[in-house]
Amino acid sequence: MERDNQNSELKIITSEIFSRYPEITFGFSTKFGLGREKPPWFNLSFSVGNEEETKENRAAFLSGLGIKPEQLAWQKQIHGDKITFVKEPGFQGECDALITDKKGIALGVFSADCTTVFIYDKQKKVIAAIHSGWRGTEKKIVIKTIRELQKKFNSQPENLFVFIAPAISQKNYEVGLEVASKFPDKYLLKTNDKFYLDVSGINYDYLLQMKIPEENIELSPLCSYENDFLHSFRRDKEKSGRAMGVIMMS
- The mean pLDDT value for 1-11 works out to 59
209-232 per-position pLDDT tens digit: 999 999 999 999 999 999 999 999
Task: Report CA 157 to chain centroid distance, whole Å.
Answer: 20
193-205 per-position pLDDT tens digit: 999 999 999 999 9
- The mean pLDDT value for 107-112 works out to 98
Helix axes 199-209, 141-153, angle to 10 degrees: 30
The answer to whether position 81 is within a domain reads yes
Q: Is the pLDDT of residue 8 over 60?
A: no
How many separate domains does the chain show?
1
Res 2: pLDDT: 52
The answer to whether position 192 is within a domain reads no
What is the distance between the alpha carbons of residues 217 and 213, in angstroms, rounded to a whole number?
A: 7
43-76 per-position pLDDT tens digit: 999 999 899 999 999 999 999 999 999 999 999 9
What is the distance between the alpha carbons of residues 167 and 231, in angstroms, rounded to a whole number?
A: 9
Which pTM does this prediction carry? 0.96
The answer to whether position 114 is within a domain reads yes
The answer to whether position 225 is within a domain reads yes
The answer to whether position 108 is within a domain reads yes
The answer to whether position 51 is within a domain reads yes
151-158 LR contacts (CB < 8 Å, sep 24+): 152/85, 152/99, 153/101, 153/121, 153/124, 153/126, 154/124, 155/121, 155/123, 155/124, 155/126, 156/123, 157/210, 157/211, 157/212, 157/213, 158/211, 158/212, 158/213, 158/216
Res 4: pLDDT: 47
Q: Which amino acid would we find at residue 225?
A: Y
The answer to whether position 183 is within a domain reads no
The answer to whether position 179 is within a domain reads no
Indicate if the alpha-carbon torsion angle 115, 113, 126, 85 is positive or negative.
positive
CATH number of the domain within which 21 lies: 3.60.140.10
* Domain span at 46: 2-168+217-249
